[in-house]
Structure formats: C-alpha cells, structure tokens
Amino acid sequence: MGPVIVFALGVGCGVFLHNLWRRFWAASGVAALAATGLWGGGCYLLLALTAPHELGPPLLIPVLLTVGTAFVGAAAGGGILRAIRAG
C-alpha cells in the first residue's frame, strides 16, 4: 500500500507544482522531493511517536525507490494537467 500512497502524493504534488511552474522536468523533480519529504517525514513522525528506540538513519535504497515512485507520479500528474489544458 505504501507505493500507492507515495504515487498519489507524487501526483498531488505534481499537479500543484506544475500549476505554478511551467518547466516540466524541474517541476516534476521538485514535486518528487516534496512528496518524498511528506512520506518520509510522516513515517519518521509515526516511528518517533510509537517506537522511538527503533529510529535510525534512512537507508539509501528505500529513499531512492520512494523518490523514483514519487517522480513517476509527479510526471504523470503534470502530463495529465497539461493534457487537460491543451484539450
């Protein structure tokens, strides 16, 4: 369920930032980083509240997978927004 939520966060951030910024890839990248920050921040907050002794530094591979999933969602959201505007 996590990747679906990350993808949805990417779409939401992508639509928002593509609405403000016209550069497609830059807006997709910033939206992916924003969605990753929201997801990672929420996970760390949940762990801090429920199991503070389990916290550690974030691992590289899961963070990169989260950024990639969010980037695909942000690009999809931006593409859908541009298709709606053009049509």
3-state SS of 29-68 is: HHHHHHHHHHHHHHHHHHHHHHCHHHCCCCCHHHHHHHHH
pLDDT digits (tens, 9 = 90+) for 27-63: 999 999 999 999 999 999 999 999 999 888 889 999 9
pLDDT for 56 equals 87
Q: Please give the torsion angle defined by the CA atoms of residues 11, 80, 78 and 70, in that order, rounded to the nearest 10 degrees.
A: 30
pLDDT for 14 equals 96
pLDDT for 25 equals 97
Residue 73 has pLDDT above 90, yes or no: yes
Tokens for 51, please give them. Answer: 């199991």
pLDDT for 42 equals 94
Contacts of residue 83, defined as CB under 8 A and 6 or more positions apart, other chains included, come to none
pLDDT for 1 equals 87
- CA angle, 2 then 82 then 25, to 5°: 65
The helix-helix angle for 60-86 and 2-20 (nearest 10°) equals 50
